[in-house]
Amino acid sequence: MLPKPRADLAPNTADFERLPLIKPTGFREYDARWLFPEEINLMGLNAIGLGLATLFDQRRVPKRFVVGHDFRWYSASVKQALITGLLAGGAEVHDIGLALSPMAYFAQFALDVEGVAMVTASHNDNGWTGIKMGMQRPMTFGPDEMTALKEIVLAGRSETRVGGRYLFVPDLAERYMASLADRPRLKHPIKVVCACGNGTAGAFAPAVLERLGCEVVPLDTDLDHTFPRYNPNPEDLKMLHAIADAVVAHKAAVGLGFDGDGDRCGVVDNAGSEIFADRVGVMLARDLSALHRGATFVADVKSTGLFATDPVLIENGARTLYWKTGHSYMKRYTHEQKALVGFEKSGHFFFQPPLGRGYDDGLVSAIAVLDMLDRNPGRSMADLERSLPKTWQSPTMSPKCGTRRKYGVVDRIVVQYQEVARKGGRIAGQGVRDLVTVNGVRVTLADGTWGLVRASSNKPELVIVVESPVSEANRNAMFADIEARLAGFPEVGAFNQKI
């Protein structure tokens, strides 16, 4: 048995070398993230692996795991420590080596393995590490599994077992890339800027796009875990601006930017303008619903209202369900609803059969964008984006609110809006058309203007977004209503920005 983990160990001490260090804050709603080695040490990672094996025992799931790691100087060591714990728990470990997160999810299917434990800090700064975990493909852990794992590990209730087995899979990366390219090549030549921010995707994304028939302009595709130019994050303005400059300079049809572990893809059009992920989602929904009429889509509550109001989607018989923000929530709900695709505003897209296997894969998203362009040879990416109805949307605003208080504040805001709707009251001069309360409250007014108030999943903040399909004034009126209501809660801090 391992000693019970502690949260107060400091590097360069004897106890740090003989006891597990695990900061409890690293366990999040649907994955785990720590600074290494300040918040977790190698023995702490042993404890995580042993706890994972114990959780599988408790849930009566066969203890077979795919394990891979992203490109950081310490990730291989982190993975080996995690594997040691899994083996101590009697697990069978399939090590796929350097990998993207979707490559690990693919391996669950390709190797017929139940579990996954992918070592990655995604787009986080160098110094962070983390683990994305799952026990029922294609889903990853949600709050239930994360809470259970946290309790097992921190209480020291893990149990060792005999029978652990290690297998290294040397060809999984090639099998993954071959599976993506096992399809007809693009009919029309497309020049693509492929940006990877020196993250792990640089080892795989350019080769896949070339196999599809693209002319690839590589941008920051050499692996360098110091991330010398910017973090590999397609929501980061530095990365987007670098892609835009390259698209314009090379007269490319599109820029595709992949995050650190390859499960998201950002898009820049041929004019050098970034397209927010939810609008990319509407464009793809239009394209796919023409081929799959009557399709169901899922969008997270932060996403544009165009999923519900776009006339092309309506004409194609598409319907969209709004659901909780968070890649594990979205992945599971998209699967349960048998939706064709789930779109999250952060850029996690979940393509279900026949388009994908249900997990988030930035390369699958990129291929969907390329197919859309290939089916519209006379129209540019900018043309397709401009054909969407105009909306006036705010940035995501995040007023501070303590972790212990944020959910209570949101609960009371939900009640306030429910009361207005129940009594037939008016907000910003309009009646309430719809309330979605699966994740905070998303209030939609009569003309389609909407506002969202929810608690951040992993920060001491609220999340506020507003949008209007009618006018900037109506968007601002919706925001003013939310701002006035939050002013009644002294525990809510000032907005970090305003519209």
Q: Are 463 and 300 a contacting pair, CB within 8 Å?
A: no
Q: Please tell me the distance from the alpha carbon of residue 360 to that of residue 342, in angstroms, as a whole number.
A: 9
Mean pLDDT, range 374-399, rounded to an integer = 95
Q: Please tell me the distance from the alpha carbon of residue 247 to that of residue 255, in angstroms, as a whole number.
A: 6
pTM score, whole prediction: 0.94
Candidates 464, 431, 435, 470; CA nearest to 449 is 470
Q: Are 127 and 320 a contacting pair, CB within 8 Å?
A: no
| Domains by residue range for the chain, with CATH | 14-171 (3.40.120.10), 175-271 (3.40.120.10), 275-386 (3.40.120.10), 393-486 (3.30.310.50)
Q: Please tell me the distance from the alpha carbon of residue 217 to that of residue 221, in angstroms, as a whole number.
A: 10
**pLDDT 10s digits, 120-166:** 999 888 899 999 999 999 999 999 999 999 999 999 999 999 999 99
Mean pLDDT, range 98-116, rounded to an integer = 98
**pLDDT 10s digits, 431-479:** 999 999 999 999 999 999 999 999 988 789 999 999 999 999 999 999 9
Helix (H, G, I), strand (E, B) or coil at 165: strand
Peptide bond into 354 cis (omega under 30): yes
**pLDDT 10s digits, 202-250:** 999 999 999 999 999 999 999 999 999 999 999 899 999 999 999 999 9
Q: Please tell me the distance from the alpha carbon of residue 159 to that of residue 381, in angstroms, as a whole number.
A: 54
Q: Are 94 and 148 a contacting pair, CB within 8 Å?
A: no
Q: Look at residue 499 and tell me whether its pLDDT is greater than 80.
A: no
Helix (H, G, I), strand (E, B) or coil at 187: coil
Q: Which residue has the higher pLDDT, 458 or 82?
A: 82
Q: Look at residue 404 and tell me whether its pLDDT is greater than 90.
A: no
Q: Please tell me the distance from the alpha carbon of residue 329 to that of residue 6, in angstroms, as a whole number.
A: 30
**pLDDT 10s digits, 346-372:** 999 999 999 999 999 999 999 999 999
pLDDT at 403: 83
What Å distances lie between residue 292 and 295, 296, 318, 338, CA to CA?
Answer: 6, 9, 9, 13
